Structure 1
């Protein structure tokens, strides 16, 4: 399983599409077996979910995320956990321990 966190300076970013990098953790049997970075490609509306699917991502963890992005990710069978904040290493530990919950609603898309 591959879990991608939208990050900047190893912290989960406030907005999914505006991160510098995705830190991707490979998880097997509740253990992190590897991690790598994917640079966020130049912004194109609706492109990022497909890009993440092409990279084998199963779960996205982000701070704020727009409703359109959530819908596109879910259509691609990528689980979305939103409105998360904190250091990437701490967040992934919470995820593995089933302590991470999605809070609230997607951002309105008015700022795009």
Structure 2
């Protein structure tokens, strides 16, 4: 299993579309993290980038994120990536919570488009 987390350093980024990178955790069948990979984020809005295809091609099954708009959520889901929104804090800790069955999607969609310098016009 591969779990991606939208990150800024070791922390979950507040907004998926503005993250610095995606930290990909490779997890074995014993639910142990075997390795990590840092995938730098392209500039621009996450929902209009090709990040869903890139993550899918890398074998990512799960994405843990802070806030996210409907566009990005729909694109990721279409690529077979389950999204868990509404998270914050250290990325590795949240992956451990997920592996322990203690993490779920908040179900809350980001409504900040147009705020905080977001300029992708949707």
User: CA offset at residue 109 of structure 1?
Assistant: 6.8
Aligned ranges 1:4-15 → 2 under 5 Å: 4-15=4-15
User: CA offset at residue 52 of structure 1?
Assistant: 1.6
Q: What TM-score results when the alignment is normalised by the length of structure 1?
A: 0.91
> Gaps spanning 5+ residues in structure 2: where?
115-119
The higher radius of gyration belongs to: 2
What SS does structure 2 have at the residue aligned with 1:90?
A: helix
Flag as ranges the 4+ runs of structure 1 deviating above 2 A: 108-112
**2:43 aligned with 1:51, yes or no?**
no
User: CA offset at residue 46 of structure 1?
Assistant: 4.3
RMSD: 1.5
Aligned twin of 1:42 = 43
Determine if contact 1:67/1:109 at 8 Å carries over to the other structure: no
How many residues matched?
112
Determine if contact 1:6/1:23 at 8 Å carries over to the other structure: yes
